[in-house]
Structure 1
Amino acid sequence: MFAGIDCGTQGTKAVIMNPDGDILGVGYAPHKIIEDPSGKREQDPQWWVDATIIAMRGALEAAGVSGEAILGLSVSGQQHGLVPLGSDGRVLRPAKLWNDIETAPENADMIARFGGAAAYEKAIGLVPLTGYTLSKVLWLQKNEPETFEQLGSMLLPHDYLNYWLTGRQVAEYGDASGTAYFDIRERKWSEEVLALIDGGTGHLAKCLPELIEPDAIVDTLTSEAASALGLSTSCVVAAGGGDNMMGAIGTGNLSEGIVTLSIGTSAAAYSHSDTPVTDPKGRVAAFCSSDGAWLPLVCMMNAAEVSSMAASLIGQDVRAINTALASCPPGANGLTVLPFLSGERTPDLPNATGSVLGINKINFNPDNFLRAFTEGVTFGMLAGLKLILSGRSCQAIHLIGGGAKSSEWRQMIADATGAQVLVPKSEEGGALGAALQAQWAWLKQAGTPAPLADLAAKAVALDPAKTADPIAERKGAYDVAFGRYRQAVLDTYQTDVL
């Protein structure tokens, strides 16, 4: 048996998977979050540990298996968070998260120090956006200099959980590529970038963990971790990765031509690539994957939560989204929404706010309002799809997350893109991907290696009842509505979404 742990923003999930890729049990525990109007978004890393223990024990109980049967596990973690540790391995302060936007000035500062976005992309293969780890390091230096001086190591959330599990501080290429101090082409840390913060003293370079391959074993569980989780000390911990990288594995996105679109609190779109996909304008995150390739990705900070909030505002729940999409035509009778309630990452507008445009007597009703908010979120995602594909063809969109539960939302995505939308039966993409990676690494160590794509092909089943085929005659109306959205962003923020 193998286990996958998915430590997200809202909570931690664990799954137990048998060698055939079947999920036997699932456990979950929620997280708290520290936030305020400044854009601060933080969590205490101990909350992740506590949630991991609860989730793993819950998964074992649900599966009805002994912890002794778990041969290996892997961790999927929310990307970009900064976990600052002292030289003694102690957490120095709460971790700043991927959706923390109070570091926006520091991000702009770092790009300027490097000589602009194009110079940054040329050096390491991507342009840092607010939310990446780099700006958090500079923020720490500026705002908490005493903590900065105490830094002994800098870990990402999944790296920290690996450290708690094994006592070893390491990082892998996929998650590391979201720091903005990692060269995605050469797959190595960029000390040149960090020198712009510490003045070339080497202080930050010494804080970087060792890099390991995506199919590597970190170590076995410590006795403390094994006891807390109900597992054996012989259980190995694989490299793990960022939640998007594990989501790619867990949705079968391991070859070119497939796009995974995740719609949750935030949204992400990513597609496997055999070669680096870079963007001098910084709109595409040119990440490495956690299977030895690359994973061009865009992330939108405003997604299903925005539609849920809009439904709540008109006295409804999320079920009203289906009704609104079914009863109103594409384009919401002229209403256009810029859904930037939490700023935005793609396009890079950390200080943007939401807007409702084009209101008139005809479209001034709750269903048009809710459709327009859902379209606004969707158009942000469609712009992202166009960017990561960069002219390449898309065979299918694998849709995951809360948004995949809405039949009308699935149909809207199919109609607006002209692509078939497929939904994996399992909703545990990140955790399943982690379990598959653990199996992949364990088999290699055992001397019986198997291609990760073959393992995923057995585990990732698609739900035919949720397939949405595009209705060609609707695409024109969505193209017009998307054009209005694109122009509204350009007029309001002087930024083109494409």
Structure 2
Amino acid sequence: MYIGVDCGTQSTKVVVVDVDAGRILGEASRPHILREEANGRREQDPADWLAAFRGAFADAVDSAGINTQAIRAIGVSGQQHGLVALDAVGEPVHPAKLWCDTETANHNAALVEKLGGEEGCLDKLGLVLQTGYTASKLAWLRETHPEAYQRIDSLLLPHDYLNFWLTGERVTEAGDASGTGYFDTHTRRWREDVLAEIAPELDPARVLPQLIESHAPAGRVRPALARELGLAEGVVVSSGGGDNMLGAIGTGNITPGLVTLSLGTSGTVCAYSDTPVIADSAMVANFCSSSGGWLPLICTMNVTSATSRVRELLGLDLTTFNERLTAAPIGAEGVTVLPFFNGERVPALPLATGSFLGLTSVNTTQANLCRAVVESATFGLRYGLELFGDLAKGARQIRLIGGGAKNPSWRQMIADITNTTVICPTVTDAAALGAALQAAWCERYPHASLEDLCGRIVQLDEGSRADPDPECVNAYEQTYARYLQALTDHYY
């Protein structure tokens, strides 16, 4: 038995997978508290992640009906970019600043300039620093909380922190490290000189975790924690990775030819590559994968976070929201939303705000507002997909994951807006599944291949398939053009 864990923005999910039988035996989740402020601050207490892990683990094992002594390895996926700075005894010096935090936009702009602009970033890092990456959070902590900054002994990401709690080891791997802003994604090495520009007082040899290969173990579960969880001694903890990297594994996106699109709090689009990618747009991040290759990726900041905000504003439950969505026509009778409630990364507008455009006394209905926010969140993902160029044009299929993937109307909308067949894996919470698959790969390496494990476990739900409707494709072209014009009028 193998355990997959996904520590996301809203909750920690745990799945129990029987790899030999090719089945998921149990799953559970526990929520997190997100601390938000109007200035763009988004933080969480890492202790909440540990409490959620304990609860979700117990619930998942209980639903699976297994003996915990049968668990052989654990894999951890975590929300990317979060800064977890620890002191010498392993305690956070400040709450974790998250991927969706935009308070550090000015710090990020200053770092990009210091590194030589976009060209300098690409040369040193293989990507361009974005607000939300770990680097600007560290610069912010240094400036605003010098007493906490001076206590830093380790710089970890959320998944690294959970691995540290599980094993006592401070390690990371190339996939999640790609989003720190002080890691070279071409050579898969820390850029200590870049870290020195951000935090000159910190010793890289002391504060940076050890880099390990994706198939390597982070360590083994600490004896005291193993007893608490009912595990056997020596349970392996795999390298783990960022949620996008493990989500790619959980959709079988570990060879060229597929696109994974995630409809979560944020939205991501990624496609596997065997070699580093130099994209035409600086907004395409040349991240490494957590399976040994590269995973060029774009991330939009407002997907289910935007749709949920409108749904709650209107006082609708999810069923009623979906009824309103399907009741409105394509184009929402002229209503356009720029859904940048959390700022935006793609396009690079970290200080943007949300806007509702084209409202009249006739078209201001619940149905049109619901449809417009879903359409616009999807247009943002198409905008990002188009930045991939040939890498996306060669894709034969979009594999859809995340909470929004469960909505059949949204699946069809994505197929029509992208003019590409869309299908969901049977497990749409793919990051936790990918973590379990990576755990099995690590525990069995070199006697098992990840491709074989994905082929055995990752199944597609044919009932979720959505093929483009030519008439709807044409209608969405006009609505998408209107969205792009609104984007240009407001920000360019």
How would you bin the TM-score normalised by the shorter chain? over 0.9
Distance (whole Å) between structure 1 residues aligned to residue 439 and residue 349 of structure 2: 37
- 1:49 Cα deviation after fit: 1.4
Partner of 2:358: 358
CA contact (8 A) 1:122 1:280 kept: no
Q: Are 1:450 and 2:455 matched, yes or no?
A: no
* Structure 1 residue aligned with 2:285: 285
Q: Deviations over 1:332-371 (max 9, x none)?
A: 2222110111111111211111111222354332212211
What are the residue-to-residue correspondences of 1:462-473 with 2, within 5 Å? 462-473=460-471
Q: Deviations over 1:280-315 (max 9, x none)?
A: 643112110000011111111111232232233334
CA distance in 2, matches of 1:77, 1:139: 22
Offset at residue 395 of structure 1 (A)? 0.7
Partner of 1:482: 480
Paired AA for residue 486 in structure 2: A
CA distance in 2, matches of 1:311, 1:51: 26
- 1:159 alignment partner, SS class: helix
User: Partner letter of residue 75 of structure 2?
Assistant: S
SS in 2 for 1:288: coil
- SS of equivalent residue, structure 1 residue 140: helix
- Structure 2: give runs of 5+ residues left out of the alignment: none
Q: Which amino acid aligns with 1:126?
A: L
1:146 matched to 2:130? The reply is no
Cα deviation code 1:179-212 (max 9, x no counterpart): 011000000001121111234x562453101000
**Counterpart-to-counterpart distance in 2, 1:325 and 1:257:** 32
Residue of structure 2 equivalent to 1:322: 322
Amino acid at match of 1:492: H
Q: How many Å separate the matches in 2 of 1:52 and 1:306?
A: 27
CA-CA distance at 1:114 after TM superposition = 1.0
Give the stretch that moved more between structures: 31-40 or 4-13: 31-40
Aligned to 2:207: 207
Q: Which moved more, 1:481-490 or 1:388-397?
A: 388-397
Question: CA-to-partner distance for each residue in 1:6-38, whole Å, 9 max, x for gaps?
Answer: 111111111111123311111222111222212
Match of 1:8 in 2: 8
Is the counterpart of residue 85 in structure 1 residue 86 in structure 2?
yes
User: Which residue identity lines up with residue 342 of structure 1 in the other structure?
Assistant: N
- Call closer, same or farther: CA 1:280–1:85 in 2, change over 3 Å: farther
2:403/2:429 contact within 8 Å kept: no
User: How many angstroms apart in 1 are the aligned matches of 2:202 and 2:403?
Assistant: 44
Alignment-derived partner of residue 180 in structure 2: 179
After TM superposition, give the deviation of residue 330 of structure 1 in Å: 2.0
Question: Residue type of the partner of 1:120?
Answer: C
The Cα shift of 1:407 comes to 1.1
**Structure 1 contact 307–318 (Cα < 8 Å) conserved:** no
Q: State the shift of 1:491 in Å.
A: 1.5
Partner of 2:107: 106
8 Å Cα contact 1:337/1:372 also seen in 2: yes
Q: CA deviation at 1:87?
A: 2.4
For 1:62, the aligned partner's letter is S
Count of matched residue positions in the alignment of Structure 1 and Structure 2: 490
Q: Which residue of 1 is the match for residue 236 of structure 2? A: 236
**Aligned partners of 1:294 and 1:10: how far apart in 2?**
27
> Which residue matches 1:66?
67
Is the deviation greater in 390-399 or in 131-140? Answer: 390-399
Deviating more after overlay: 457-466 vs 152-161 = 457-466
1:310 — aligned with what? 310
Note if contact 1:214-1:292 (Cα within 8 Å) is conserved in structure 2: yes
For 2:207, the aligned partner's letter is: C
TM-superposed CA distance for 1:324, in Å, is 3.7
The residue identity in structure 2 corresponding to 1:417 is: T
Give the residue type in structure 2 aligned to 1:331: G
The match for 1:371 is 371
Structure 1 residue 167 corresponds to structure 2 residue 165: no
Cα distance in 1 for partners of 2:135, 2:367 equals 42
Q: Which residue of 1 aligns with 2:159?
A: 158
Q: Deviations over 1:392-430 (max 9, x none)?
A: 322111111121121111111111111111011113311
How is 1:335-354 mapped onto 2 (pairs within 5 angstroms)?
335-354=335-354
Alpha carbons of structure 1 residues 321 and 272: separation in structure 2 relative to 1, 3 Å: farther
Describe the SS at the equivalent of 2:234: coil
Q: Residues 428 and 228 of structure 1: is their aligned pair in 2 closer, same or farther, counting only changes over 3 Å?
A: farther
> Between the two proteins, what is the percent identity of the paired residues?
48
CA distance in 2, matches of 1:307, 1:89: 38
Structure 1: which amino acid aligns with 2:211? L
CA distance in 2, matches of 1:390, 1:491: 28
TM-score scaled by length of structure 2: 0.96
Cα displacement (A) at 1:254: 1.3
Q: Does the aligned pair in 2 maintain the 1:322–1:407 contact within 8 Å?
A: no
Aligned-partner Cα distance in 2 for 1:270–1:281: 14
TM-aligned CA deviation for residue 390 of structure 1: 4.2
**For residues 367 and 182 of structure 1, what CA distance do their matches in structure 2 show?**
45
> What is the CA-CA distance between 1:259 and the residue it aligns to?
1.0
CA contact (8 A) 1:298 1:346 kept: yes
User: In 1, Cα distance between the equivalents of 2:81 and 2:417?
Assistant: 31
Determine the C-alpha separation between the residues in 1 that align with 2:122 and 2:211: 21
Among 456, 461, 464, the alignment partner of 2:459 is 461
1:454-475 Cα deviation digits (max 9, x unpaired): 1111111111111111101221
Match of 1:94 in 2: 95
Distance 1:389 1:429 in 2: 25
TM-score by length of 1: 0.95
Report deviation, 1:167. 0.8
Task: Please list every run of at least 4 consecutive aligned residues from structure 1 whose deviation after the TM superposition is greater than 6 angstroms.
Answer: none
User: Match for residue 248 of structure 1?
Assistant: 248
Q: Secondary structure of 1:466's match?
A: strand
Q: After superposition, what is the alpha-carbon deviation per residue over 1:46-81, rounded to whole angstroms, capped at 9, x for unaligned? A: 211121111112111111111110111110011101
Conserved? CA contact 1:337–1:357, under 8 Å: yes
Structure 1: gaps spanning 5 or more residues: none
